[in-house]
A and B are shown apart, each in its own frame.
Chain A
Amino acid sequence: MGGITGNATALRVTVGILVLLAFVPLLHNGYYENLGRSVLMFATLSLGWNLIGGYTGYVSFGNVAFFGLGAYTSAALWQHWHQQSLLVAVLCAIVVGVVFAAVLGLPILRLRGHYFAIATLGMALALQEIVANIDWLGAGAGYAVRPLDAYSSYYVAMWIVCAGSMLATYLIARSKLGYAFVAIRENEEAAAVLGVDPTRYKVIAWAIGAAMAAAAGAVFAGANGFIDPPTAFATDSNVFPIVMALLGGVGTVAGPLIGAIILTAINESLWSRFPQIHTLFFGAVIVLVVVFLPRGLLWLLDTRGGWRAVAATLGAYRV
């Protein structure tokens, strides 16, 4: 078994892929660059979700809130202070994301299971509505973010954010922090008895995940050149990362990037072939992944049963 960071071989292969992704801008092909940046963005979001949803076992359905906050932080910096440095934007976004996560986390993380999931979903929807009502943030119309001259800087920035998130996840998973998260997932009461303060560690997991999402949002806003409530708080950016983590392997370091690569590839090929109904196919993909691979691809690597193991899971959860 792979232990707390997941299958070691899969992790090495994934790091290799991540390193290869760093060279995409050298192709000087705008299409591949956008596609690659999209993979990196979703992988980062998925890694952020994975800390709270995967390692700590609190299924959040509202992590897009932090992505949106990050995007708006970077857009507001340009709009109101003509601040164009990506580094400043990302750092400010991280601060805003962490502060929001800590403040909102204290009431919301008291909830569990379905209640937590719906409260986080409500949080994302409410934040989108509130932003759409604030004139200073461009209200419903949104506003433009002037792109940098060197467009590839956004790619490089997203790569650094993604690689940083993956490294952070790896280090956290192997540290005391990671074991505390998993202890809360497996049995919160038992963890509390053993001296793990659940509230404290849940807020930490949630806030670190929020920092990752906010950083990705800040880079996204610049690369996209325009931000409004539906783009900043898109359902896609909310749900795709969860499906990606599920497909790759929940609670592993490599899972999110593997899931992001596969699902972005599927989504892109569906989008180019069936522009009208690609969302329909995506719904079908979600259903198939959930029914046939509820434990993800990495789990399949660790179990030596192959398809028989898949069949066994089908039997295990049915009524």
Chain B
Amino acid sequence: MLFWQDLVNGILVGGIFAVVALGFSLVWGIMNIINLAHGAFIMMGAYTAYVLFATWHVDPFLSIPIGFVLLYAFGYCIQRFVINYVVRAPLLTTFLLTFGLSLLIVNVALLIFHGDTKGITTSYSGANFSIGAVTVGWTKLWTLLVALAITAIMHVWLSSSRTGRAIRAMALDIDAAQLTGVRVSHLYAVVFGLGAGLAGAAGVLISLSYSLQPSMGDPFVITAFVCCVLGGLGTVQGALVGGLVYGVLESFGAQYIGTGLQDAVALVVLLLVLIVRPRGILGKVTA
């Protein structure tokens, strides 16, 4: 059945979308920054996996923590030393700033890795199993499981750790949080670092089933935005639900509307959600 295969494919890719959207949602929900460099961070994560695999044959699944830590450090510095200086400026400023950063990062990657596409082929790349007429690739299944695990860890950390609670307090009321001793400039950098780290982890996961190329991350920015709007902004559950639902929608869209129209499908979904249910599937009513 084509229908079940599309549904399964959609859920499998939706797991990746969820991790992509999670980092984007944190940065947007807490600092009100639309990070147009999110796609560039995804690309950096993917190339980290590629370099480790090509040089030392490190299994991409083992590269996930490495990608996360590298991108976390990178994102922390970017926020601390650049974005923090304009974070309260009008919307256009951070929008253009992250666009400029994205341009910078992608072109540095182009210098280092050149424009040709690269890929990671592991010993288990083509392995799959079938349930009835539905075929599932092992890599994609594990990718989904890891994505779910990352989402769960983030949820627990944000709701119970001291830093996680400080971050959520900051999202509620930045001035009140500051009065209780939260170091905003440091925590903003932590949040952006987390967003970049999650993008990096997502990039490693993406490198397992997509081909690599310096501008590969760009389309994911729109995807992340639509997932956030779809699921509800600023919560881990929202990003997860948004990612999975959008994965399925895109999979059906490619089947029944046509490939090469992903952005058109995304725009229609975005406008429909914003008009019919602006707070997203799981979103709460806010002022």
B71-89, CB < 8 A from A? 82, 84-89
A132 and B96 form a contact (CB under 8 A): no
Nearest-neighbour CB distance to chain A for B281, whole angstroms, equals: 16
User: Which residues of chain B are within 8 angstroms of A286 by Cβ–Cβ distance?
Assistant: 96-97, 99-100, 103
Q: How many residues of A contact B (CB 8 A)?
A: 47
- Partner of B225 from the list A118, A133, A289 (CB cut-off 8 Å) is A118
Q: A272 near B: Cβ within 8 Å?
A: no
CA distance in complex: A294, B90 (Å): 9
CA distance in complex: A239, B36 (Å): 12
A122 and B266 form a contact (CB under 8 A): yes
CA distance in complex: A117, B262 (Å): 18
Given known pairs A122-B222, A246-B92, the reply for A133 and B260 (CB within 8 Å) is yes
B91 and A113 form a contact (CB under 8 A): yes
Output the nearest chain B residue to A288 by Cβ-Cβ distance: B100
One of B13-21, B138-146, B195-203, B269-277 at the interface: B269-277
Output the nearest chain B residue to A313 by Cβ-Cβ distance: B89
Output the nearest chain A residue to B262 by Cβ-Cβ distance: A129
B99 and A118 form a contact (CB under 8 A): no
B96 and A246 form a contact (CB under 8 A): yes
CA distance in complex: A121, B225 (Å): 11
CA distance in complex: A122, B226 (Å): 10
Given known pairs A114-B28, A117-B34, the reply for A126 and B89 (CB within 8 Å) is no
User: Which residues of chain A are within 8 angstroms of B46 by Cβ–Cβ distance?
Assistant: none
Nearest-neighbour CB distance to chain B for A299, whole angstroms, equals: 13
A294 and B99 form a contact (CB under 8 A): no
User: Which residues of chain B are within 8 angstroms of A285 by Cβ–Cβ distance?
Assistant: 100
User: Which residues of chain B are within 8 angstroms of A108 by Cβ–Cβ distance?
Assistant: 271
User: Which residues of chain A are within 8 angstroms of B266 by Cβ–Cβ distance?
Assistant: 122, 126
CA distance in complex: A317, B88 (Å): 5
B239-285, CB < 8 A from A? 258, 260-264, 266-267, 270-271, 274-275
- Partner of B95 from the list A61, A129, A289 (CB cut-off 8 Å) is A61
A287 and B104 form a contact (CB under 8 A): yes
Output the nearest chain B residue to A290 by Cβ-Cβ distance: B97
B93 and A294 form a contact (CB under 8 A): yes
Nearest-neighbour CB distance to chain A for B170, whole angstroms, equals: 10
One of A35-43, A168-176, A194-202, A274-282 at the interface: A274-282
CA distance in complex: A133, B258 (Å): 10
- Partner of B261 from the list A118, A130, A316 (CB cut-off 8 Å) is A130
Enumerate chain B interface residues (CB-CB to A < 8 A): 28, 32, 34, 82, 84-93, 95-97, 99-105, 107-108, 111, 184-185, 188, 222, 225, 229, 258, 260-264, 266-267, 270-271, 274-275
